[in-house]
Amino acid sequence: MRTLDAGPAVTMYVCGITPYDATHLGHAATYVTFDVLGRALRDSGQQVRYVQNVTDVDDPLLERARATGEDWRAVAQRETELFRTDMTALRVVPPEHYVGAVESIPLVLDMINRLLELGATYVLDGDVYFAVDSAEQLGEISHLDRATMISLSRENGGDPDRAAKKNPLDALLWRAERPGEPAWPSPFGPGRPGWHIECAAIAAEFLGTTIDVQGGGVDLVFPHHELSAAHVAVASSSWPFARTYVHQAMIGFEGHKMSKSRGNLVLVSALRAAGVDPMAVRLALLAHDHRQPWEWTPADLKRADSRLAAWRAATGRSAGPPAEATLTAVRAALAKGLDTPRALRAVDEWVADAAGSGTDRRGPALIRALADSLLGVDLDG
């Protein structure tokens, strides 16, 4: 892992969930990846200031509430709590600040007002838009051409085909109140925040206008990360918003990307309810490079179960091989692109050696400690 020029602490913002359904393995992989990143940074001597949002008011959540006949706030509260319970079971260290969209509305309005003062907004039928032509750096994160940006905007919550927009890529900052939808007062009339401005305002408030690491799923590169950064850049006249971007690749299931819209989900809570050890789930996720897409199969869990049992058996002995070289190898693997599969193999090699002779009484304890502190895997269970 390269040393970040971060001052007293590394600042990390990871985009959180929209809580309208249970946590699936795609979510889990993202937050386990950034959990390992945080652990590796702390192990290297860095402090970590980590912030994550929860989009607790948005179209998918409101649609789910209407479909089930529930109050949208009840849905958001229930699913947020389930997410947190799943993350605790997976031993994901919680962020320093976990911030909801609703509680952040004053921050959002402050940033919109700043953009308004700078002439970077306009109003269309009561909705307030960000004019992307005001952002000179647009495209420097995703490196996409305009046609691809428009296509991805259409697929990922944007409205590039809305008539009368000045630019198809202009992003919604404030959505005017619609019948039957929640709304909050603002200088622009009652309404609610847009998606990208939510993360921009939260990150800027809690971490500053230039942060060290921006993270999330690879599907957030455009439009979300590109436009959030553009909002901050224009509002603060500073660039870059993030010095480093880290993205989790997509996980597939049954031939398609795992997604709520398709319904092909493997839920962490369902696995837990079926008696699956959360540490096996964590090992199954860590067995794959976060940069490469892959497809979940029952074999992933079977291999993880076997690995977990072998690690626990080997570290349960009173003595084993020396483990200092294993610790060095795990640290080196995480430092080189957060290579968790390589880190797991380093522990596997120690475990294989432990099946033979081994007289170092410190070895098993050191492996348990590194698995715990660096990989987040509890071997005492």
| 263 against 278, higher pLDDT | 278
The whole-number pLDDT of residue 377 equals 98
What residue spans of 156-297 are helical by DSSP H?
Answer: 195-207, 226-236, 268-273, 278-286
The whole-number pLDDT of residue 7 equals 64
Residues 344-360: what's their mean pLDDT? 93
Residues 246-256: what's their mean pLDDT? 91
Q: Does 6 have pLDDT greater than 70?
A: no
- Domains with residue ranges and CATH for the chain: 9-252 (3.40.50.620), 277-373 (1.20.120.640)
pLDDT tens digits, 49-67 = 999 999 999 999 999 999 9
- Average pLDDT value for the chain: 95
Q: Does 16 have pLDDT greater than 70?
A: yes
The whole-number pLDDT of residue 4 equals 57
Q: What is the pTM of this model?
A: 0.95
Percentage of residues in the chain having pLDDT higher than 90? 92
Residue-wise DSSP of 143-180 = ---HHHHHHHHHHTT--TT-TT-SSTTPEEEEEEP-TT
Which of the 8 DSSP states describes residue 221? I
Reported as a pLDDT band with limits 50, 70 and 90, residue 138 is very high
The whole-number pLDDT of residue 2 equals 44
Residue in the block written with tokens 């294989």:
352
Q: Which of 182-186, 254-258, 350-354 has the lowest mean pLDDT?
A: 254-258
Residues 321-342: what's their mean pLDDT? 97
**208 membership: H or E segment, kind and range:** none
Q: Does 222 have pLDDT greater than 50?
A: yes
Residues 224-249: what's their mean pLDDT? 97
Question: Which has the closest alpha carbon to 33: 76, 111, 93, 82?
Answer: 93
pLDDT tens digits, 170-179 = 999 999 999 9
Reported as a pLDDT band with limits 50, 70 and 90, residue 290 is very high
Residues 276-298: what's their mean pLDDT? 97
Q: Does 1 have pLDDT greater than 60?
A: no
pLDDT tens digits, 258-269 = 776 677 889 999
Q: Does 256 have pLDDT greater than 80?
A: no
pLDDT tens digits, 94-125 = 999 999 999 999 999 999 999 999 999 999 99
The whole-number pLDDT of residue 182 equals 98
Question: Which has the closest alpha carbon to 48: 97, 13, 14, 9?
Answer: 9
Contact between 114 and 107 (Cβ < 8 Å): no
Residues 158-167: what's their mean pLDDT? 97
Residues 244-253: what's their mean pLDDT? 95
